[in-house]
Structure 1
Amino acid sequence: MMKRLSFAMFIGVAFFMFFSCEENPTESSAKVPELATSEVTEIGRTSATCGGTISSDGGSIVTVRGVCWSTSQMPKVSDHKTTDGTGAGSFESEITGLTAGTNYYVRAYATNGDGTGYGSAMSFKTDDPGEPDVSTAEVSEIMPTTAKCGGTVISDGGSAVTARGVCWSTGQTPTVSDSKTTDGTGTGSFTSEITGLTAGTTYYVRAYATNSVGTSYGSAKLFYIHEPGTVTDIDGNVYQTVKIGNQWWMAENLKVTHYRNGEAIPNITDNTAWSNLSTGALCDYNNDVNNVVTYGRLYNWYAVNDSRNIAPTGWHVPTDAEWTILTNYLGGESVAGGKMKETGTTHWYGPNTGATNESGFLALPGGYRYYSGTYYGVGDYGYWWSATESDSYGAWSRNLGCSGSGVDRGSNGKRSGFSVRCVGD
């Protein structure tokens, strides 16, 4: 009886093993991909390069591949990852958004229909953080006690910028222990308002940025706070004045309608009448008095040269030589224009090349009146007379334009209508 029972059990076990070992025709033979992780290269403070090589797709198409990383030793695609194409073969990955001075682990991965396979883990450490990289902007809008500057934090050095601004002093290398502004945090550009300045003083200013490593500085910019003043003409117009070098200049264009002795300067609106003049006259640009507040008036050279004097007492129209003294003081004709022009594009058309107004001259684009009587160039150009005749037909002048930083010296017909700036006696 026992023999028959044992034989029956043997047959049952054999039957079970036969059918359990038979291949299931509906089950996939695919496996996850096989791959290797590349060496980590180009390691910086916040980035690195890695990649991998897929040696087998496991019998199913690789639909996504890349690298994954974390601070744990076995990173997965649920951590940080890149996506770098499909299929087998080699690929390269850019790892970004890292923290400076930190240990990381990275693995190549590849996913097919059966799952995700990984290469071996590679470890690397990002570069330690450094000081920020910062540049200093040009100084602009220089007033008797204030000015504007700023800068750009180009890089935080791998550690968050917690303070930025500008610092200034009368020494050539100001630091944050001198006077300073605080203008936000992080990278990018910023604008700073410099206050508490003293007229007649030369200052140096630098942008700064601070992170956990330390404070770095941009290059130093020099600027001068000019001594302010005023002068009043016979009509009661009050003009701001500025000392540039050893000269006192009006910081506004002349608006006067009378000579110093009280006699009127004729306002000629008709083009034909203007073109036939050989005596002093004035006009408003486009015959529009609303232009006078901003740009002053335009005068022919006969008014400039009149013995009754167009300038206020104690002042005169500058000679050609006095204009040259000014432009030489500001670095020469090739750069002086930018230092004389009002900044921005409120009045000047763009690009207003090189405009800093660091001289305080505040040149405006009042345009001009051609000898034929037509008006031209407001917003584009400013023209100013000198008191010096060039020949029987013309006189020397200076002009500035919106697309250059220089000063042009030229001879123009005496019937032209130009702006006038006066200089102190």
Structure 2
Amino acid sequence: MKNLFIVILSLLTFWGCSSSSSKETPEPDITTLPQFDTTTPANQSYVRAVTNPGSSGSGSTGSAQVASTLTGKSGVCADQHGHAWSVSNPDPTLQSSDNKSQLGKYCGDSLKIYVSTVPNLERGKTYYIRPYATYGTNTVYGKTIQVRIDVALPSFPQPPYETAFPAIPEVTANQIKVGALIDNNGGADILQHGFVYLEGTSKDLLSEDGKFIAAGPSADYKSLRLGPYTGALPGPYNGTITGLKSNTNYKVWAFIANSGGIRFWSKPMIFRTL
């Protein structure tokens, strides 16, 4: 009788453990999770702005704003997202990085453009910065970019206007095709280039010293990002801004960005759609 009781107790224990295990939610296959797009030009990470040591009260070190784009997926939430960075590891992970930003949870089925501020950057050092997002125990990573605070910015040709924008714009009711000319890359690869634009003529995107007023993406402006520039320099580029309203004024700024920051053509092009 005693042996029968032990057998029954063992079976109940086994059944309870099996039942509990069967109810556990398995970790998703990492390949099914939202990823960082490493091929589409518009979605590549780039340096939005750099603050050099000694400027704007930054003290003996500088900082950089790095923008990245995470794809979304309906019903799937990232527990955390941001950037990891290192001065010694060309492909930093959360475990091997010197530091990281933590921008919180993200749920959505659309592209998420986000910006991290990377502080305490020293002159003469190269920083490897990599976007990440965590889903439970899984982490997905994007492509690493390099940042140096002592790299010269890329540049457009000096005025006149026709030198920097040699192409004749093509304007229709809902789109504008426009081009620009890059003079040099400042000594570092161009990570992103394109145009930012704003509806109307009363607002500006640049302050008097040529810096971007908007620190991050907002509903006030949109951008056409064309990705890294790999052509010979000096060299032209062009793009078509779509989805515009008819019979409406638009301001358009050309921009180029390398590991030292972002450069805008100081004066906007102004167009009116048909």
Measured against the shorter chain, the TM-score band is 0.3 to 0.5
Q: Which has the higher contact order (CA 8 A, sep 6+)?
A: 2
The structure whose Rg is larger is 1
